[in-house]
Amino acid sequence: MTLSQFEIQDIDQTVLLWLEEVRKQTLIAMQQQLDVDTKHDVRDLVTNVDRGNEQFINTKIRNFDSNATIVSEEGFGDHQRDMQGNVWFVDPIDGTMNFVKEKDNFAVMIALYIDDQPILGWILDVVNNVVYHGGPQIGVLSNQLRLDPPSDDALSDGIVLLSGARLLYGMFGYDKIAKAALGYRVIGAAGPSFLRVISGHAVGYSSKMMPWDFAAGQVLAKTLGLSVSDIDGRPLDMLSSNIVLVATNRAHRDILTLHKS
């Protein structure tokens, strides 16, 4: 199924309205006592807001798109086995530790892929009230402002963003990448990290991620001509975890070369 540009824009506008509502609910919840639980370990947090946002968004998706299947973080999605049809990805709070502790540097992310093709992605920066959204047919916008592709800087001329835990435990060659870059930063969340690469404030970002962590970022990054792959240069598996690498084309080559060496 191929959608017209008009249909794509209609979907975009619809999801932007959902995100306005999600933003309001999230800000209200931040003024109240959060209900924080742990999942796999003490650092893997989930709150009432993660769950509430996911239920809200997934309900909106199912009412809007009767053919939708949903891949989402907190258990209200489907058990999707392939990328056929309309597959939606939902991360109701990306960066839950930042949400709980920093009250900043977290995001709400949604993406739509149809028959394995990236169609639209949305990354909402709740605190700064900015939504990055778009896809290959309509370009990438920051709220209403159209984004240009970032300049194609090399790793040695830019800041790279890395998963703190993986760097700390010597995984994935992240120490070599950090040393070769002009500088590195640890942000602690995928959405805000993708946004820094998309807006040209960092030349690359790598972390181990689940599909809801990278689905929206991949749509936006590829639309702007950035490279997205796993750390070995292969396309991402949309239905399992990957060691994701998003970067300028030059930094992507620099990092793949370092990773193989």
Q: How far apart are CA 27 and CA 35, in angstroms?
A: 15
Q: Give the one residue of 40, 81, 179, 234 binding its own copies; rule: CB under 8 A.
A: 179
**Does residue number 182 form part of the binding site for its own copies (CB under 8 A)?**
yes
Find the binder of its own copies among 32, 63, 66, 183 (CB under 8 A). 183
End-to-end CA distance of the chain: 43
184 binds its own copies (CB under 8 A): yes
Q: How far is the CB of 45 from its own copies (least distance, A)?
A: 9
202 binds its own copies (CB under 8 A): yes
Q: Does residue 43 bind its own copies (CB under 8 A)? A: yes
Q: Tell me how many residues contact its own copies (CB under 8 A).
A: 26
34 vs 186 by CB, closer to its own copies: 186
DSSP 155: G
Find out whether 168 and 175 touch, Cβ atoms under 8 Å. Answer: no
Shortest Cβ distance from residue 37 to its own copies (Å)?
Answer: 14
Total number of residues shown for the chain: 261
Angle, vertex CA 114, rays to CA 110 and CA 120, nearest 5: 40
How many CA atoms, within 13 angstroms, populate the side-chain half-sphere of residue 175?
Answer: 4
Quick one: which H or E segment has residue 217?
Answer: helix 211-223
Closest listed residue to residue 246, CA positions, set 238, 127, 237, 219: 219
233 Rama sector, left if φ>0, alpha if ψ -120 to 50, beta otherwise:
left
Per CB under 8 A, does 175 bind its own copies? yes
Which of 194, 200, 259, 183 minimizes the C-alpha distance to 228? 194
230 forms part of the interface with its own copies (CB under 8 A)? no
Q: Verify binding: residue 145, its own copies, rule CB under 8 A.
A: no
Angle at alpha carbon of residue 234, lines to 157 and 256, rounded to 5°: 30
Amino acid at 219: V
**Residue 236 C-alpha from the chain's centroid:** 13
Of 90 and 195, which CB lies nearer to its own copies in the complex structure? 195
101 makes contact with its own copies (CB under 8 A): yes
* Least distance between its own copies and beta carbon 199 (Å): 9
**Least Cβ distance, residue 74 to its own copies (angstroms):** 20
Binding part of the chain for its own copies, among 68-76, 109-117, 194-202, 222-230 by CB under 8 A, reads 194-202
Which among 28-36, 117-125, 135-143, 156-164 is the span making contact with its own copies, rule CB under 8 A? 156-164
Q: Which residues bind its own copies (CB under 8 A)?
A: 42-43, 97-98, 101-104, 158-159, 164, 167-168, 175, 178-179, 182-188, 196, 201-202
